Amino acid sequence: MDERQALAAFAALSQDTRLKIIRLLVTAGPEGMASGAIADAAGVSASNVSFHLKELAQAGLATTRREARSIIYVADYAALSGLIAFLMRDCCQGHPEVCTPAITALSECGCTAAMEPA
Amino acid sequence: MDERQALAAFAALSQDTRLKIIRLLVTAGPEGMASGAIADAAGVSASNVSFHLKELAQAGLATTRREARSIIYVADYAALSGLIAFLMRDCCQGHPEVCTPAITALSECGCTAAMEPA
DNA sequence: TCCATGTTTCGATGATCCTTTGAATATCAA
DNA sequence: TTGATATTCAAAGGATCATCGAAACATGGA
């Protein structure tokens, strides 16, 4: 993830409805959600959700696949962790006080099970 | 960090000049940088940098202190790691494939030295 | 084929944001 | 006090963005 992509991702996440949508997609998992279901869950119109989903897809944070009449949106986990990595890489240069609290946050989600001591 | 704060932080980071400024501040460390020095380094006018610094401060990503005629801006490391934590907390619910790559990113910056195995 | 469903696209409107300019404020030195 | 330096503030412009409604497109079933 370069600066250009990070900028696009930050812009995509800086909007109320889109942040809501990303959270929906992330919790929905790899199966994703149909556009209509997202619109219902987010409480916005079909055309409005379509507008925001397009933004998220263009920012690389979501991918799509068609399934019958529905179009399914899936969170791009690699892009999200890439953004996290970008923030960290940028923030840690000689200042571990930035990342150390993040380690605590990490351990809250059970993902540290696979970790090895440094 | 709640959703409102995260939204403000994402908005602050989604602008070219401001992202550049945050990177400058982060690498500058706790000593910070004067407004004028930031303007020079970022290549923008004094009033423009002032505008963006105000945005960053209001988003909680930077703090200020006066030093003689200069006003020194300092990155708020707690807010930055809080944003990282917000992203992670949101993204990991049942999907460790999001956070696991972030662990790799973490280990690149030397901050994992303090870590314990889970 | 015809119709219903799900989604996107287009055009218009109002809101928000970024930049610039010039004036105002604060600090220090002479 | 006067002048110089450092920064902020306020107003105006041009650009970008979000929302809505209507129309268009794609798919599947009768």
| Consecutive 10-residue averages of pLDDT for chain A (118 residues) | 93 96 90 97 98 98 96 93 77 66 63 45
Query: How many CA within 13 A on the CB side of residue B52?
Result: 23
pLDDT for A117 equals 42
pLDDT for B24 equals 94
pLDDT for B69 equals 95
pLDDT for A83 equals 85
pLDDT for A116 equals 43
Task: Please check whether strand D approaches the CB of B24 to within 7 Å.
Answer: no
Taking 70 as the pLDDT cut, the residues of chain B under it are: 90-95, 97-118
pLDDT for B117 equals 42
D30 C1' to B104 CA distance, Å: 55
**Rounded CA gap, A116 and A114, in Å?**
7
Helix (H) or strand (E) holding B94: none
CB pair distance less than 8 Å for A98 and B80: yes
Q: Is B43 helix (H, G, I), strand (E, B) or coil?
A: coil
Residue B9 sits at the vertex; the CA angle it makes with B8 and B10, to the nearest 5 degrees, is 95
**A105 and B85 in contact (C-beta within 8 Å)?**
yes
pLDDT for B113 equals 44
pTM for the full predicted model:
0.88
Nucleotide at minimal C1' distance from the A14 CA: D17
Among chain A residues 47-76, those with CB within 7 Å of any atom of strand C? 47, 49-51, 53-54, 64, 69-71
Contacts of B87 in chain A (CB under 8 A): 80, 83-84, 87
Contacts of B88 in chain A (CB under 8 A): 84, 102, 105-106, 108-109
CB-neighbour burial class of residue A2 (10 A; exposed 0-12, middle 13-18, buried 19+): exposed
Place of tokens 């602008």: B15
- Compare CB distances from A13 to B10, B93, B110 and report the shortest one's residue: B10
**Rounded CA gap, B73 and B78, in Å?**
15
Domains of chain B with CATH codes: 1-112 (1.10.10.10)
